[in-house]
Structure 1
């Protein structure tokens, strides 16, 4: 919220602190000052009041004028100045920047020739002076200020505006008066409350039931107080300068005197108000027996309302509306309707002041996607005991700025709920919670400065007294003794907390298994030239329906989403990665490898599992030109990376069955993607391969995209974590043997490799080690026929304590061949 210092001084006339001191005070009181903005003219040297004596057309330029300007004897008397403004007429008082002046933007003024004519200065516009945006004409001064007077002496005094972030628990400070209370307590100054010339309807005031005949509230729980005053004979027009200046200072655009007054009181008291044009309420005694009336009710199905922002909005139950005799006039507590708003032709007003249930306003604002200054305050809480006083304040300002008179009847449905809240707190309790002593007199002064009235003070067996405090209605956040501890400390000053040694015992513990897993897989992928991404955990329902499944879209929907495009929990990291890839491609950034780690939510058999997950994608390079291109990524690239990710979780991926994808993720290309694992049985699952070409293209992504994901339940990570230990390696050389076998064409090479490795290790036993068994060649040809193929493996043998001899290796190798051929029936390829 923006707070004007000039405005605050209306309530704290004795405040003479600097903006820096006030900003510090606001911070120590518990609010954040995001910015301090200074308005008004900066210090302007050599810019003085002058009077244009003559104006002649420039001999060499159609749009320039040559003016003689008297700037006073002290500044050289009459000077010749060339000006391009259309309003530099003779006889007008202006501000002239003389040579040596430096205007905002480091614009230095000096004598110069303009189209052959000497110009000894410049006549200034508001834009050039830094006090406005008008650059079409020069600033014309009202009255006849003395020539040579410094610019800063005739320009309006500036203001200081504090942009303050108010915490949600302090709705009373969403107003100038509320923050003035806080500053009064801090600086120990008296607070002057605003006074209104209207204190109630006169006994002899005329009645105008033709303007408003009745007010009816159908839902008193949602609208416990509704008042309506009729003001007749107003004249709508521009607000006075002081009112426009106040609103402009805090970022509001002045509209007219009626609307400006309601906005002013909103920012002064924090109480929303709304003014209806009485002639546009709808309803006529000749048509509707009830005549013109206000009806606070729920919207009916099919009703619509064009609000003041010009948008037609569909209303439906249980939206609370302010209706006329037939149709809605305003969305209660949020925004008025265009049809009943105040216009230049308005002469009679109905001023609404109401209290609405905060949950009702919050629900309606969210459903309509409509927020306003009024709804912002109603959602956080408005002081019901200040509402009618705010209405009287607004009426007084309307009478002052727009004329007219208040006529009867005054309508009030409901009333102020009786308020009586007392909290008992002791001096020792406060000291105990703070951890240091504060004198009882200082506590008592803090309570009184915050208008927390002490109704009873009693001695206790401890050092200090016990106080019973009456809590004012605007402090609905105070209802426990601990709350008062904070109030004392805020006013006493957190900077006065004594310094004490702090002992903080260190806690030795290992990182969570999920953290360690995330760290390992991130390091691995980044080391393989991937760029790490971070995307939102929430995605849109349309994405899930398209890329995952309708079931996932139904199960992962949030009950109360904030925005439409973040309404579902993500079941996969690929959606965010694809979004990042599209963004990079659209900006011409040559990024092909992206990865991400994070939480995903996977629906399985009616249950939703929260999993630790890692995902990556590799895009085809369709733009970069190379004299020699590297081998493109393929299905096996993705499989190799997923295997490494699974191994980081303690899973031997090579032992897991792999099968084509189906069902649980629609985004894979048929025949070019595979899956492994089972979330229900094994606690993990993996998917890898080529993403669906049509879906990828629909996102605007060029080329093929290979991807992989690995997701695991966090408890399985805890089971899988084992500390790696160093094993000494042999210093002796290895011995290599090759073995080629003719096998059926359909036999997976990995199956044979595992069988060969098992046989070799059984044959060798503990004599020495079979260090590795690896496939190095696959051959198909006419000599073998279509039904067979040849697989060639290399076997590496090594001993830890000696160099192996050819005899012992050959003997073992021959026995391996014999046992393998006997058990499989395969043939050696010669």
Structure 2
């Protein structure tokens, strides 16, 4: 699974000297394990006639309640422009971007002098979105740094800041902040990493003192191992400075206010989520980290009321939850323009709990994205102190000299023992000891050399915990280009070498040759359909733990339901599609749980969908059986012993109109053929009964090496034919009689000849045959490959057949 993050090049250059071009970095990032999904420029395109203007006056439009008429100074010696504007977030004295007549804005919008509700407008004051400087279009872009009036806007925002959309593997949570990405680039280019210096600090205490804004901090949930809180008095909440707004907008975040922006800046810088509370909104001045109560509710910052479960964790005060821990805060304690005192939290939560909470609530945020990937518990204090510095710089206030800490970091740095020879063996090429050690040092690891090297891995690299991980890190930083080329020492293997592919191709060929058309249906099915075809036990066994939709909740146990869907769809649309087949995987119950089997299934309409001038023969059970036999013969699968026997399947097949041969658990092959249960075909609104078959095969059978095919010449001498009519009980299958005659003929055949075949040519009931009995007539063919048979030896064999049958069966010779 991949995770995404945005990285601004200008922001990265604050931590490492980067001389590489954007195109070069596009190639470098994948070598470091970060795929580049796209590159965006956050700066404006070239904009002519867009300059800095200052609002001189603002008056109500005489004909429109929501418009104002402004006088705007756009340069020295230039008459003030009269501009009609609908925004409300500005006052006289503010400086804003002004597009003058003749300007062409992103998107092709041209500015010209025009009248709005009777008042002439000589330009347009612009928002960030209109200049492609951000997504904010709720009001004008206020230029708080007060650039000189008349300055072209491209000089105010001179350089586009390329922003990379990167995708990381799920174990690289350390790169979900600009510092982590800069560390990787510094290691790649062998440059120094500049970590920001933090000034704010306070002694750690377990319990707040009496002068603290907090009266207590406690943890009762096992999913929180560390919680830290700081308090700041006397802040002034307001707009952020331009540099802070620009940094956030470059990575797709909207500026809120200076306090919230400071925490979001640190989030994007370090990858550590923080949260700021309005201290006066915390009931009882107490912070409690606890599991949520059943059906407890909270209104999150997106103004959605959410119902919590006991498996979720909240940050609460004495009365109510204030934050869905690790996911999103509530409106009950948010920082707004009236906030004077702050509580800043930093914590470490169990990643699995945050991941589960976000998934259940359907709420993925920048914070949950990072907590779910395991933030570094050893650098929580650094992130918080960095945020405090920014808050004091942009919002003022005074830090109370206490850090309230409950719990301990769950992990720290780890030491791994390794030998350089191990690295060389695993890499497959020679690398000097110094080169190996330097690669690890560039990553921020510590290396103690000796008989066995001891490499200390910092806590922010939680995924590096084995010697083989150190080998991977060496190769990554040393460069995969250093790996010498070597020819592949194996034969090329294609799908044509796969017995399963070959079998499927043969099966498809033989069915297409019999008039069937192949189709491919979705492998996930509906629960009600599975239960109707296979029963509740199978339905429960094939249920998905995390279904994508309500209609696709189970793995399939048969291909037949999908084939019936295909026939029904084409019948509704008057398409003349009568025979369909599919080849795919299904699951059935086995001794050790579900078994995956290869299935070949076909289905036929017994009635035509279109009117014909000439009535054609309609398919029946025997035709389906012949198709199945041809399929077995063509694919080299042997018919299970016993042949097809009548079956009574109360769910899938019509009673007394279906048969089955073999069983997967015994023969590893199972063939079912007959009429699908009428209730199932009617549920699909099909016209008439459906004849189908399904061949289930354990893939082990196909994976075995096929036996060599032996060809045998046809006999050149004429056969000797004999007919034998036997009276048997009416319920005895004709095939059972044929096999008995075949076995007797094989035993009775004389020296130098054999029973070539035995076939049934007549089954009769009626006059001359006792009630409850039937006559089965078989033709017996004797043949020799060496000579023409004499009547004497054929008659002798025929008499012997009758004797054998008289002794081994209760069949009577028909007179």
Same fold, judged at TM 0.5 (above) = yes
Of 601, 605, 622, 2:588 maps to: 601
Separation in structure 2 between the aligned mates of residue 821 and residue 139 of structure 1, nearest angstrom: 103
Q: Please, which runs of 5 or more residues in structure 2 have no aligned partner? A: 54-73, 76-83, 88-96, 111-122
Residue 187 of structure 1 deviates from its aligned partner by 1.6
Separation in structure 2 between the aligned mates of residue 159 and residue 265 of structure 1, nearest angstrom: 19
Residue 28 of structure 1 deviates from its aligned partner by 1.5
* Secondary structure, counterpart of 2:100 in structure 1: strand
Aligned ranges 1:145-294 → 2 under 5 Å: 157-196=159-198, 198-200=200-202, 212-219=214-221, 221-232=222-233, 239-281=240-282, 283=283, 291-294=284-287
Separation in structure 1 between the aligned mates of residue 138 and residue 631 of structure 2, nearest angstrom: 66
Residue 513 of structure 1 deviates from its aligned partner by 7.1
Matched with 1:3 is: 6
Q: 1:749 to 1:317 in 2, by over 3 A?
A: same
CA contact (8 A) 2:216 2:286 kept: yes
* Secondary structure, counterpart of 1:499 in structure 2: coil
Aligned ranges 1:477-556 → 2 under 5 Å: 477-500=463-486, 503-504=489-490, 520-521=506-507, 524-525=510-511, 528=514, 529-531=516-518, 533=520, 536=523, 544-555=530-541
1:474 aligns with 2:460: yes
After superposition, what is the alpha-carbon deviation per residue over 1:228-268, rounded to whole angstroms, capped at 9, x for unaligned? 23345556566555444444443445555544443332222
Aligned ranges 1:813-828 → 2 under 5 Å: 824-825=811-812, 827=814
Separation in structure 1 between the aligned mates of residue 400 and residue 188 of structure 2, nearest angstrom: 43
Residue 624 of structure 1 deviates from its aligned partner by 6.2
Aligned ranges 1:678-757 → 2 under 5 Å: 678-679=663-664, 681-695=666-680, 705-713=690-698, 722-730=707-715, 746-757=731-742
Matched with 1:113 is: none
CA contact (8 A) 1:617 1:705 kept: no
Matched with 1:388 is: 381
Q: 1:821 to 1:385 in 2, by over 3 A?
A: closer
CA contact (8 A) 2:314 2:325 kept: yes
Of 27, 34, 39, 1:24 maps to: 27
Separation in structure 2 between the aligned mates of residue 519 and residue 477 of structure 1, nearest angstrom: 45
Residue 19 of structure 1 deviates from its aligned partner by 1.5
1:379 aligns with 2:372: yes
CA contact (8 A) 1:430 1:485 kept: yes
Matched with 2:648 is: 661
Q: 1:816 to 1:7 in 2, by over 3 A?
A: farther
Separation in structure 2 between the aligned mates of residue 200 and residue 527 of structure 1, nearest angstrom: 83
After superposition, what is the alpha-carbon deviation per residue over 1:446-470, rounded to whole angstroms, capped at 9, x for unaligned? 233212234x445x6xxxxx75443
With normalisation by structure 1, the TM-score equals 0.73
Q: Please, which runs of 5 or more residues in structure 1 have no aligned partner? A: 53-70, 73-83, 110-121, 284-290, 461-465
Separation in structure 2 between the aligned mates of residue 294 and residue 144 of structure 1, nearest angstrom: 48
After superposition, what is the alpha-carbon deviation per residue over 1:476-515, rounded to whole angstroms, capped at 9, x for unaligned? 233344333322222221112233456458999x978767
Q: 1:357 to 1:272 in 2, by over 3 A?
A: same
Separation in structure 1 between the aligned mates of residue 690 and residue 323 of structure 2, nearest angstrom: 52
Separation in structure 2 between the aligned mates of residue 248 and residue 292 of structure 1, nearest angstrom: 34
Separation in structure 2 between the aligned mates of residue 686 and residue 391 of structure 1, nearest angstrom: 68
Separation in structure 1 between the aligned mates of residue 647 and residue 177 of structure 2, nearest angstrom: 64
CA contact (8 A) 1:421 1:479 kept: yes
- My pick for the range that moved more, 688-697 or 13-22, is 688-697
Separation in structure 1 between the aligned mates of residue 632 and residue 190 of structure 2, nearest angstrom: 66
CA contact (8 A) 1:258 1:402 kept: yes
Aligned ranges 1:378-457 → 2 under 5 Å: 378-402=371-395, 404-407=397-400, 410-416=403-409, 419-454=412-447, 456-457=448-449
* Secondary structure, counterpart of 1:224 in structure 2: strand
CA contact (8 A) 1:303 1:314 kept: yes
* Secondary structure, counterpart of 1:166 in structure 2: strand
* Secondary structure, counterpart of 1:422 in structure 2: strand
Matched with 2:344 is: 351
Aligned ranges 1:40-55 → 2 under 5 Å: 40-41=43-44
Separation in structure 1 between the aligned mates of residue 300 and residue 420 of structure 2, nearest angstrom: 53
Residue 214 of structure 1 deviates from its aligned partner by 1.7
Separation in structure 2 between the aligned mates of residue 238 and residue 297 of structure 1, nearest angstrom: 34
Residue 593 of structure 1 deviates from its aligned partner by 1.7
CA contact (8 A) 1:669 1:691 kept: yes
Q: 1:128 to 1:416 in 2, by over 3 A?
A: closer
CA contact (8 A) 2:658 2:675 kept: yes
CA contact (8 A) 1:50 1:95 kept: no
- My pick for the range that moved more, 32-41 or 738-747, is 738-747
Separation in structure 2 between the aligned mates of residue 714 and residue 341 of structure 1, nearest angstrom: 60
CA contact (8 A) 1:821 1:827 kept: no
Matched with 1:328 is: 321
Matched with 2:91 is: none
Q: 1:447 to 1:691 in 2, by over 3 A?
A: same
Matched with 1:300 is: 293
Q: 1:438 to 1:534 in 2, by over 3 A?
A: farther
Separation in structure 1 between the aligned mates of residue 278 and residue 384 of structure 2, nearest angstrom: 17
Matched with 1:58 is: none
Residue 17 of structure 1 deviates from its aligned partner by 0.8
